[in-house]
Amino acid sequence: MKTIVITGCSTGFGFQAAQVFANRGDQVFATMRNVDGKNSEPAAKLREASPNITVVELDVLSDASVEAASAVILEKGGAPDVVINNAGQMYVGLAEAFTADELTRQLDINVVGIHRVNRGLLPAMRKAGQGLIINVSSIAGRFGAPFFSVYHASKWAVEGYSLGMRRELATSGVDVVVVEPGPFSTELFGQSPSPKDDEGRADSYPEVVAQTFEGMGKAFEGMFMDPEVPTDPIDVVNTFVALVDGEAGTRPFRSVVGVDLGVRARNDADEAHDAPFLEAMGLTDFAKLKTD
C-alpha cells in the first residue's frame, strides 16, 4: 500500500485517479477546494467510493490552505509515497487581451500552486529518503499555438521547474516527473476562462483571427466526439499508475499521453542533450536518482 496525495480531485484526471488508486488498496488523500460548498457532491462521491479515500480541503492558490492540508495529510498518513500535482486551469484567448492580473492568476494556479504543495510535503518526503512527485504538465508545455499563449507560459514553466527540481532532489531519493496529456475530454476545456478584454483589444485584430479561434473550438469538439481519437481520461490515469509502479531510478522524466502533435519526437531529441549538459556543467551527482 502506498500513500498517495492528489490535487484537483473534484473532476477529470484527479477524480478518476483517486478511485483507481484506492480500489487497488492505496491510501489516497484526494484534495480539492470548496469541499463543503461547490465541490461537496464530488467530495461525497469519493468518500462513498472507498474507505481508502480521505477527502481534504486544499486550495492551491492559498498558502494557509496548503499548509493546513499538508498538516492533516502528514498527521494521518505520514510522508507521502506519491504526490500528483494535478490541479490546474487553462486560460484561452489572445495574449494581449489578458490583463497582467489575469496572466498572474493563470501562473499562480498552474505553477505556484504546484510549488505550494511541494513545499508543504517535501520535507517529510526527503526525510523518508524516497518518494515520487508527478507534475501534470501538457503537450502545451512543449510548443506554441495561437490563443493558448497564457496557458503555454504556465506549462512551459512547469516543465522547467520540474526538470530543475528533479536534479535538486536526486540526491535525496525523491523522484520528479511530468505527464504531458494532449487534448482530453475533461472539464478543463469546458471551464477555460477567457480574457475579460474590457478594452476590446481582440476586436482590433484581423477578422481571420476570430474565425480561426472559432474553428479551433469546433475542431476540438469533433476530436472529443471521434471514438478513434485517444481522449479518454483513463489513459492519463493509467500513466499515473505506471509511473507509481515503475522502479525508482528508471522512470522517464516526460510521459506523453494521447494526441501528441509531434511532442514525443521533440522529447526524444531533448533527452539526448540532458546528460551531456549535466556533464559539461560538472553536475553528474545530480543526474541519477539515489535509490539506496
Residue 97 backbone dihedrals phi, psi, to 5 degrees? -75, -20
Assess whether 151 carries a catalytic annotation. yes
Catalytic residue among 65, 91, 138, 155: 155
* Residue 145 clears pLDDT 90, i.e. is over it: yes
Q: Considering the entire predicted model, what is its pTM?
A: 0.95
Residues 6+ apart with CB under 8 A from 176: 132, 133, 135, 162, 165, 166, 169, 253
| Number of structural domains in the chain | 1
Assess whether 137 carries a catalytic annotation. yes
Assess whether 149 carries a catalytic annotation. no
* Residue 105 clears pLDDT 80, i.e. is over it: yes
Supply the mean pLDDT for the chain: 95
- Orientation angle between helical segments 12-23 and 234-245, nearest 10 degrees: 50
Catalytic residue among 10, 65, 138, 255: 10
Average pLDDT over residues 19-28: 98
Could you give the CA distance from residue 260 to residue 136 in angstroms, rounded to a whole number? 15
Is 292 among the domain residues? no
Is 273 among the domain residues? yes
CATH code: domain of residue 101: 3.40.50.720
The domain in which residue 75 lies consists of 3-286
User: Could you read off the pLDDT of 181-240 as tens digits, one per residue?
Assistant: 998 876 666 678 999 999 999 999 999 999 999 998 888 778 777 888 888 899 999 999
Is 49 among the domain residues? yes
Catalytic residue among 50, 137, 154, 162: 137
Catalytic residue among 50, 151, 154, 162: 151
* Residue 279 clears pLDDT 90, i.e. is over it: no
Residues 6+ apart with CB under 8 A from 215: none
- In this structure, the dihedral spanned by the alpha carbons of residues 39, 186, 94 and 201, taken in order and rounded to 10 degrees, is -50
Is 256 among the domain residues? yes
Is 173 among the domain residues? yes
